[in-house]
């Protein structure tokens, strides 16, 4: 079935909310990421609600917090709002410290987020990881300096998320995410024993940041 007018309205809202936002450290419009995430969700059989949530998954976190989430709920319904909330690690501004925020999100992913949310989370992380690997191939490990977690923290976070999604979802895209994270780790110059949880010494960071 073709997507309805709701999807068109979500696309317009996403473009309006993120019009002045760019991919971190680049001049690439942020909407390109949202379109890519929606495409991955759709290509893997996602529903229209999941597609709409994919377009809006970063809107509350980056553009208005709970007020924006309630706008999404009013315009697109509870299901879309729930999926968007499940993709967000905080609505606070300034954001909490990076390490604590990411650890809390990983815990939520393991224990609280339902199956309808997970394909959108997967698509988001898959596109982000793919973009990071593409940049690593061109610019080398210094490309991760623009992320608050740095090299070690960024690879750690994607490794942990991929591990959780591997347990919760049966999808070729999960396998692809693990392949990309392996490549990210290799290109970053890191060697990690996957059984050693203390290999990465991640900074405790109190600054606000808009990257993932």
Residues 158 and 121 grouped into a single domain:
yes
Between CA 44 and CA 69 the distance in angstroms is 25
Are 78 and 160 contained in the same domain? no
112 three-class SS: coil
Q: Are residues 32 and 5 in the same domain?
A: yes
What count of residues does the chain have?
212
pLDDT tens-digit readout, 171-199: 999 999 999 999 999 999 875 444 444 44
Spatial distance between the Cα atoms of 42 and 199, rounded to a whole number of angstroms: 37
Residue 147 resides in a domain: yes
Asked if 118 and 87 sit in the same domain, the reply is no
| Together in a domain, 118 and 72 | no
Q: Please tell me the distance from the alpha carbon of residue 212 to that of residue 204, in angstroms, as a whole number.
A: 16
Rounded average pLDDT over 107-133: 95
| Whether residue 82 is found in the same domain as residue 179 | no
**Which of 94, 116, 151 delimits the end of a domain?**
94
**Total tally of structural domains belonging to the chain:** 2
In this structure, is residue 212 part of a structural domain? no
- pLDDT over threshold 80, residue 209: no
Q: What is the mean pLDDT of residues 26-39?
A: 93
User: What does each C-alpha distance from 82 to 58, 67, 91, 124 come to in angstroms?
Assistant: 13, 14, 14, 16
Half-sphere exposure of 97 toward its Cβ, with a 13 Å CA cutoff? 8
Question: In the predicted model, what is the mean pLDDT of residues 126-134?
Answer: 95
Mean pLDDT of 1-25: 91
48 in a structural domain:
yes
**Owner of token pair 């729930």:** 82
Please tell me the predicted confidence (pLDDT) of residue 206.
40
User: Span 34-52, mean pLDDT?
Assistant: 97
Claim to verify: residue 109 and residue 86 sit in the same structural domain: no
Answer whether 34's CB lies under 8 Å from 55's CB: yes
pLDDT digits (tens, 9 = 90+) for 142-173: 888 888 899 899 999 999 999 999 999 999 99
Inside any domain, residue 26: yes
| Domain assignment of residue 90, yes or no | yes
Cα distance between residue 55 and residue 35, in whole Å:
6
Q: Is residue 58 part of a domain?
A: yes
* Residue environment code for 168-202, b if the CB has 16+ CB neighbours within 10 A, otherwise e: beebebbebbbebbebbbebbebeeeeeeeeebeb
* Segments forming the whole domain that contains residue 126: 96-204
113 falls within a domain: yes
Q: Is the pLDDT of residue 125 over 90?
A: yes
Beta strands in the chain (DSSP E): none
pLDDT of 176 reads 97
* Confidence category of residue 6, pLDDT binned at 50, 70, 90: very high
């Amino acid at each position: 079935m073709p997507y309805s007018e709701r999807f068109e309205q979500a696309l317009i809202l996403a473009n309006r909310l993120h019009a002045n936002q760019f991919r971190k450290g680049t001049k690439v419009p942020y909407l390109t990421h949202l379109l890519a995430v929606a495409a991955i969700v759709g290509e893997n059989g996602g529903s229209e609600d999941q597609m709409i949530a994919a377009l809006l998954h970063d809107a509350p976190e980056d553009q208005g917090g709970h007020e924006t989430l309630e706008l999404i709920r009013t315009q697109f319904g509870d299901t879309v709002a729930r999926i968007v909330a499940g993709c967000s690690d905080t609505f606070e501004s300034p954001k909490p410290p990076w390490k604590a925020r990411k650890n809390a999100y990983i815990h939520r992913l393991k224990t609280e987020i339902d199956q309808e949310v997970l394909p959108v989370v997967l698509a988001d992380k898959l596109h982000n990881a793919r973009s990071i690997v593409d940049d690593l191939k061109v610019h080398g490990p210094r490309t991760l300096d623009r992320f608050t977690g740095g090299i070690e923290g960024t690879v750690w976070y994607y490794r942990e998320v991929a591990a959780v999604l591997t347990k919760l979802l049966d999808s070729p895209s999960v396998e692809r995410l693990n392949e990309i994270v392996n490549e990210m780790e290799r290109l970053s110059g890191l060697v990690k024993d996957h059984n050693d949880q203390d290999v990465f010494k991640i900074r405790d960071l109190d600054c606000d940041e808009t990257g993932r």
